[in-house]
Structure 1
Amino acid sequence: MNATWFGYRDLSRDDDPARRWWDVNAEEYLEDHGAFLGDAGFRWGPEGLTEAEAGLLGDVEGARVLEVGAGAAHCSRWLVGRGARVVASDVAPAMLDAARRIDARTGTTVPLVEADARRLPFADASFDVAFTSFGAISFVPDPHRVHAEAARVLRDGGRWVFSVTHPLRWAFPDDPTRRGLTAERSYFDRRPYVEADEGGRVVYAEHHRTLGDHVRDLTAAGLRLRDVVEPEWPAWNDRTWGGWGPERGALLPGTAVFVTTKD
């Protein structure tokens, strides 16, 4: 496997590496992280901040809610328990299959839709709230389309909330220890991190947006930024997850959660 932090290919011309990767790695991902996420849990990122603590979606009882990049629909299941009318969408069939198995095990059923977040199969103004927890946005080269689709399917006054890797983290190596505290890349270099197989086919990619990029994408979609939440690493969380962990997390932010409304 060949990997580089600065891939030069125009990934918008590839077929969907994100769909392939999540389809192939769904089981491994859930084996590693499923217990932390919880069958019906809602965490905004590896720090462990929950929606119950943060309340970023507002009052969801009776609300029409869409989860984008839902994975196995852990967050959606939690929302069902709070009285929301939820639909969970994801691009990877294997993730949706896993969601159905968890539904059967827990007895909580979430309507599931296979969909690219940039081409949602829903009518305009179908939802009161839309959100994604680390889904879709970082895995496509054109995240402005995700925001535009979220705005389209929201009613006026609706809320779009999403979490991503904190933009500051792009400058630092993917190391959760103190060794990861020295910047190695320019924060302003927007070339993606890319992994390719022996034949040169892209199998995984993550895309960087600066804080300003995120804000410009949101305003271009007709959304108003209401808050940016940067969860601090809590004392109870001793878990390491990729580049996230308590040692570096005590000093640098790892997650940013953007709260917006369609006004």
Structure 2
Amino acid sequence: MTDDHLAEAGYLDVPSAAGGSASRGWWDANAEEYLDEHGTFLGPGDFCWCPEGVREGDAHLLGDLTGLRVLEVGSGAAQCARWLVGEGVEVVATDVSLGMLAAGARYDGGVGRTTPMVQADARALPFADSSFDVAFTAFGALPFVPDADRVHAEVARVLRPGGRWVFAVTHPIRWAFPDDPGEAGLTATRSYFDRTPYAEIGESGRVLYAEYHRTLGDHVAELVAAGFVLDRLVEPEWPTGHDRTWGGWGPVRGARLPGTAIFVTHRGRPPR
């Protein structure tokens, strides 16, 4: 990929196909920088759901995984799946970015584990129908495609009836506020209902990065359409004494506004 310097960034209408395909190149190019910044907090083999620091070892949002087959969607460097491997869980991690998966292979070497990893677009999972019992993602895939309904449909396809689907995303209310962890991030400046994506455009006119907003209602409607039942919506509070900032997340905003929404669901009857 040739260098294409940033020319424009903001809330921009971009072609859906271009925005949806930008994620792979962006994460390939920025995997090392991202992990240099956040890798210590995430850990090479820990399961962190969100910047608030919720760990699966404490929260147990996936439930009892004994004897179950688990799929991680949009895994990044597969830190969460790697933790599950250490717990004796049969798991497969998928991500669209080869750069992230390569970093995951290095993490495997560092911790002495072998994590099954597959490069795949979450909208076209390379697995047979009903081949997993549980699927999850911690901020993977869903924010970076304009057609998240396709992700839900694919997850529903590869899950067995009753299988759990748990995913963490930026809390939708955050899109009404500037992405600033300080006081400036406490005043709403955009309509919550404005679904224009945030995008970065290169000098060539190519979409380098795109992130998409969905309201809570949008998320629920997409889940229902894919045949899922919402069991629980988790909105983690900012922990006392947790002073780390991560983009727009931090103790100032975290004390007043939710930053993460975690949807705990299961596959119900197929949609009509």
Is residue 19–residue 145 contact of structure 2 (8 Å, CA) maintained in 1?
no
Between the aligned partners of 2:67 and 2:116, the Cα distance in structure 1 is: 15
Between the aligned partners of 1:15 and 1:147, the Cα distance in structure 2 is: 15
Among 91, 96, 104, the residue aligned to 1:99: 104
The 3-state SS of whatever aligns with 2:181 is coil
Aligned to 1:259: 264
RMSD: 1.1
Aligned to 2:195: 190
Is residue 173–residue 180 contact of structure 1 (8 Å, CA) maintained in 2?
yes
Structure 2: gaps (5+ residues): 1-5
Between the aligned partners of 1:108 and 1:6, the Cα distance in structure 2 is: 41
Aligned to 1:155: 160
Deviation at 1:63, TM superposition (A): 1.3
Is residue 176–residue 243 contact of structure 1 (8 Å, CA) maintained in 2?
yes
AA of the residue aligned to 2:17:
S
Aligned to 2:177: 172
Structure 1: gaps (5+ residues): none
Aligned to 1:225: 230
Is residue 13–residue 196 contact of structure 2 (8 Å, CA) maintained in 1?
yes
Is residue 17–residue 203 contact of structure 1 (8 Å, CA) maintained in 2?
yes
Q: Give me the TM-score of the superposition, normalised by structure 1.
A: 0.98
Matching of residues 43-62 of structure 1 within 5 Å:
43-62=48-67
Q: Give me the TM-score of the superposition, normalised by structure 2.
A: 0.94
The 3-state SS of whatever aligns with 2:200 is strand
Is residue 69–residue 91 contact of structure 1 (8 Å, CA) maintained in 2?
yes
Report Cα offsets for 1:75-98 as digits up to 9, x if no partner.
Answer: 001111222100000000010100
Between the aligned partners of 1:63 and 1:216, the Cα distance in structure 2 is: 28
Aligned to 2:113: 108
Report Cα offsets for 1:185-224 as digits up to 9, x if no partner.
Answer: 1000001001111122110110000000000000000000
How many residue pairs match? The answer is 263
AA of the residue aligned to 2:104:
A
Aligned to 1:237: 242
Query: Is residue 249 of structure 1 aligned with residue 221 of structure 2?
Result: no
Is residue 62–residue 83 contact of structure 1 (8 Å, CA) maintained in 2?
no
